[in-house]
Structure 1
């Protein structure tokens, strides 16, 4: 991909979708196909819970999260389901170096992310409700009541700011299908690449 400037977020892909839609699996599949010549970085998230082995996250206490927030260490941060999430300010250095940067974001926070990075590309991962329900139960993180809340939230519309580029993928079926489309979008295709 071409070199991009950091100020406007050109070169920034903002991945979002309901919990259980397979965002972490898509990121893992992408990470596995990245070679030394790919100028792509997947940013880790800071989160105020223990990080799942399946996700690229760093666990912080709430106090430490707030401290880093106050110190300006976070480029993006939001609160959801009683947890704090953040993306480090280091992404701006990566963008300034002309790298393509992918972050795991939040649909509700998209307007704020676009306000800071007007040229980001929003990537929304959709999944059929019955598939989502099964995945959330298999994860075993939450009660049925919490799962019901997540399913209701997944069905809600979200705000896409005017002028924001939005690309949507359906990840209800085989991971390989969505992973291939995602890799093409961010410029991570190569003849030798393999999907997980």
Structure 2
């Protein structure tokens, strides 16, 4: 069982990075929770508040895949994302969790490779998602509407635990939802 691997999914605009940042800020230094650093094939992207990541060009990413450098990798929203093997090494310890900010489309593969993982689905209402995507200003209104129409069903393997957080109001409310559900699964509070 890989219950301590928490695979985070949700639509763009749901506030995944914000909720994970909130969790990090409300986690004591002795609580072993680690957010796996992603490798992304985009060199010219930086957004305030976004998760720290390794930037590489497309050719380098392709070579890393060929060299089996990733424990998992996927394509989403015109980019490629990978999690290096070293990022998941903490699962070999007897305590703590590793969180991977992943992709809904890659979830079946992740669940196959890490049976029993915990799926953290962070979402929001369509109106809130649309508002947040437009406020980011990264895409045109028509591109935001196209993104809103794209639907990837969330299929969670029966062996996996599912935690759902609705981030429609305040960040504190979403963070508290997350803590309550992690505690119910026995994943929080974690012993040092």
- Using structure 2 for the length normalisation, give the TM-score: 0.87
Confirm whether residue 20 of structure 1 aligns to residue 17 of structure 2: no
Matches within 5 A, 1:60-139: 60-98=56-94, 99-139=96-136
Which residue is equivalent to 1:171? 167
Gaps of 5+ in 2: none
**How far is the alpha carbon of 1:156 from its aligned partner?**
4.4
Distance 2:26 2:118 in 1: 21
Kindly report structure 1 stretches of 4+ aligned residues shifted beyond 3 Å: none
Which residue is equivalent to 1:52? 47
Distance 1:106 1:41 in 2: 18
**How far is the alpha carbon of 1:75 from its aligned partner?**
1.1
Work out whether residues 74 and 82 of structure 2, in 8 Å CA contact, stay in contact via their aligned partners in 1: yes
Work out whether residues 3 and 160 of structure 2, in 8 Å CA contact, stay in contact via their aligned partners in 1: no
Query: Against the structure 1 CA distance between its residues 115 and 156, is the aligned structure 2 distance closer, same or farther, given a 3 Å change threshold?
Result: closer
Q: Secondary structure of 1:136's partner?
A: helix
Which residue is equivalent to 1:193? none
Gaps of 5+ in 1: 1-7, 190-196
Aligned length: 182
Distance 1:53 1:70 in 2: 32
Deviates more, 1:89-98 or 1:38-47: 89-98
Which residue is equivalent to 2:146? 149
Q: Secondary structure of 2:83's partner?
A: strand
Which residue is equivalent to 1:43? 36
Which residue is equivalent to 1:5? none
Cα deviation digits, residues 90-130 of structure 1 (max 9, x gap): 13311002331011011111100001100210011121111
- Using structure 1 for the length normalisation, give the TM-score: 0.85
Q: Secondary structure of 2:49's partner?
A: coil
